[in-house]
Copies of this chain bind each other. A is one copy, B any other.
């Protein structure tokens, strides 16, 4: 991505001056408020009594089994989330990795002091039919600015699932165009697709990996394999599923074994592509996360990804890298796959979460020739793009990628130390930037650690069978990392 080369951005002060000059100087602007010095836990249990009461109320109108507590977002600030019972937690989970600048960042609050931005919020267009006059410029100056190198086309969506679903469709259309070649579309194709049958609705497949998470709508869910409760009772496409490498840690002591694991998994991919071709369900595309997140923060080596890309090319399958959770800076690069030194760009890269809206980057080959093939009413949301614009400015101006590197190093080194100090409780520290995880010995101990961390003021998340994941915002700094590590040590000692 060309993010680091980004320039011509007005700085915050200039932006405010412009607003003031525009005659809105009577509007009160936010300035940075100090975030709490450290977490404060006021209740014996979290959720506390007020959260429990609200949960009961909400339970009358919807399912609440996944709710941890009710937050007071007006009082939350920076890296700290405050709940309705007055507990102030250092948040290193950040709404399942979707908050780049922490809570109530003044730059984001001030954004809507600008009437132009309010009009953008209130007049939401059908972007595929009647885009606003600023839309081409916004896409160019905001989204294409952070495009993965080599991908010059962007399709905007709303969330991670619909980004993957539509990326699949782009891949299927691309694949069938290759199959069709110069042949004309037949009447049989047209009629059969209308009743869900081949050849018009062909039996193509997307290969995914065990442990993967790519979303929960029916197409995306057919490539998700992280937890059975996500999939049970839902009909699925019969698409191939390969093994994702399972490494031994520390990596530097298990080089040969992990290399063998890569080779085994790659051989399985090649084999499955062959099997599904013979089965009449050719693999149009392969979808993979740079780090399997929901599935347990499972990493794979750059060599694995390079090998996977080669297999895709050999077989005419598109490579889709799902950066919904990894994208946006917290791995130390704006896109995690930039760490992999791929020989050429991936074909499609999907995003959402920290980028506020969904979508995918791709090259010319994945732009459908006919209109309305990739389409929906809204096709994204300009109201989210103006928030993203400000986020990207802040990342640059406040040098937040530097934060990620320095705070990430402190946190990772600290986790490695804790792992040595508590070998019976922790192992396999891994990850990039602040996008880190460590395993506990089993799910029960992991759950107990996550719960106790919360009671000690640290909001983390679990993933996979026994991992604890860290997903701090980009404003997370070294001193926050030290607070996390201190509390973590306290919790481990108490177990």
Contacts and interface: CB of A to CB of B under 8 A. Distances in A.
A387 interface: yes
A193 B129 contact: no
A136 interface: yes
Interface stretch (A62-70, A410-418, A421-429): A62-70
Contacts of A72: 132-133
Given A26-B27, A130-B81, A232 B158 contact: no
A402 interface: no
Q: Number of copies of this chain in the oligomer? A: 2
A307 B460 CA distance: 52
B238 A74 contact: no
A378 B159 contact: yes
A252 interface: no
A411 to B, nearest CB: 22
A442 interface: no
Given A62-B154, A62-B367, A189-B232, A132 B376 contact: no
A218 B217 contact: yes
A69 B26 contact: no
Interface stretch (A10-18, A95-103, A481-489): A95-103
A310 B368 CA distance: 43
A98 B124 contact: yes
A370 B61 contact: no
A165 interface: yes
A302 interface: no
A374 B125 contact: no
Question: Interface residues of A: mostly helix, strand, loop or mixed?
Answer: loop
A126 interface: yes
A114 to B, nearest CB: 10
Contacts of A96: 126, 129, 377
A28 interface: yes
Interface string A165-200: 110110011011100000001000111011111001
Contacts of A353: 377
17 contacts: A54-B136, A62-B153, A66-B375, A73-B119, A98-B124, A104-B119, A104-B123, A112-B118, A165-B216, A166-B216, A191-B228, A193-B231, A200-B233, A217-B217, A230-B372, A230-B373, A237-B237
